[in-house]
Amino acid sequence: MSATSTTTGSATANVARHHQGTLLRDTPIIAHRNLLRVVRQPQIAIFVVIQPIMFVLLFRYVFGNAIPIPGFDYVQYLMPGIIVQTLVFGSAVTAIGITEDLKAGIIDRFRALPMASGAVMSGRVIADMAINTVSLVVMVAVGYAVGFRVTTSVWEAALAVALLAGLAMAFSWISAVIGLAVKEPEAAQSAGFIWLFPLTFVSSVFVPTAGMPAPLRYFAEHVNPVTHVANAARALTVDGYLCGTQVCTNPWPEVWWSLVWIVGITAVFLPLSIRMWRNLT
């Protein structure tokens, strides 16, 4: 070791002796690391870009003609819904990423560092939100190519995007808890399907809820946060959504329900995931 690196060594030692990480400082470091990982793995790009394009085209041209939506052109009805569906499914990557880290042993390294204990989770969720944002941009672009048009103001459309991002984040925190609970990437993958499929299909995402059997319809219309966000997004981008068999145009009830769910889910699952992280062995 040269004289210069010895100096650097003792200097770094002095910094490190007194360091305690903060969430604000460590979260971007972890998010940056996670995004570097994504950029280096082309198969993830397929998941982020190709899959949304495929879904839009399939639903637009295969199902679109078979599913009549009263009062709507199907592409206008479909696009906000399919964006919600893609973002919700995208939250599964949080669980998979966490389990991969657990398996690779790098989690031990993080836990033995003087970093903020929530940063590995928050950095992961923020990186996943960035990835989801890319999916969102791709879908809006493809949507425009197949006839989708935003008919409201910029501000309403921006609020729709904020709600979508909020839902993606809230579901990422659920996914983080699942990842920490199951610990294996394969298990995280199948666990994701168990809750994500019912939530997205028993909702207003693809079809009107009016045709569903009563219990499912009740769940889809009044409980499921995916419906609330999809309806809010529709009201805020295409100026209306289906309430029962009617077309409703007032976005605010669905916006408020969406916010309640986003805040509620985050308030439960964010602290829970950080607690589970601290109790890892």
Partner 1 sequence: MAIEATGLVKHFDETTALAGLDLHVPTGTVLGMLGPNGAGKTTAVRILATLLRPDAGSARVAGIDVLDEPARVRSRIGLTGQFAAVDEHLTGHENVVMIGRLAGLDKSSARERAADLLARFELADAADRPARNYSGGMRRRLDLAASLTTSPEVVFLDEPTTGLDPASRLGLWDVIREVVAHGTTVLLTTQYLEEADVLADEILVIDHGREIARGTANQLKADVGGETVTVEIVDDARMDDAHAALATVTRDEVFVDRARSRLSFPAHGDSSRLAATVRALDDADIAVADLAMRRPSLDDVFLSLTGRTASDAADGSDDPPGGDARNDPNGATDTESIDA
Residue ranges that bind partner 1, judged by CB under 8 A: 1-2, 4-6, 8-13, 15-21, 26, 29-30, 33, 36-37, 40-41, 104-106, 108-115, 280-281
**Rounded to 5°, angle at Cα 34 from 16 and 192:** 130
Q: How far apart (Å, rounded) are the C-alpha atoms in residues 276 and 281?
A: 10
Q: How far apart (Å, rounded) are the C-alpha atoms in residues 203 and 196?
A: 11
Q: How far apart (Å, rounded) are the C-alpha atoms in residues 98 and 191?
A: 13
- The residue with tokens 């397929």 is 46
Which residue, 18 or 155, has its beta carbon nearer to partner 1? Answer: 18
Dihedral of the alpha carbons of 146, 220, 87, 51, in degrees to the nearest 10: -50
CB of 206 to partner 1, least distance (A): 35
Looking at residue 114, the DSSP 8-state letter turns out to be S
Which residue, 65 or 281, has its beta carbon nearer to partner 1? Answer: 281
CB of 25 to partner 1, least distance (A): 8
In 3D space, the residue among 265, 248, 245 whose CA is nearest the CA of residue 257 turns out to be 265
CB of 42 to partner 1, least distance (A): 11
Cβ neighbour number for residue 159 with a 10 Å cutoff = 20
- Residue 131: partners with Cβ closer than 8 Å, 6 or more residues away: 35, 38, 44, 48, 90, 93
Dihedral of the alpha carbons of 125, 130, 132, 136, in degrees to the nearest 10: 150
Q: How far apart (Å, rounded) are the C-alpha atoms in residues 64 and 58?
A: 8
CB of 50 to partner 1, least distance (A): 20
Which residue, 19 or 222, has its beta carbon nearer to partner 1? Answer: 19
Which residue, 158 or 280, has its beta carbon nearer to partner 1? Answer: 280
CB of 179 to partner 1, least distance (A): 17
Which residue, 141 or 280, has its beta carbon nearer to partner 1? Answer: 280
Which residue, 110 or 201, has its beta carbon nearer to partner 1? Answer: 110
CB of 16 to partner 1, least distance (A): 3
Q: How far apart (Å, rounded) are the C-alpha atoms in residues 232 and 124?
A: 27
Which residue, 97 or 251, has its beta carbon nearer to partner 1? Answer: 97
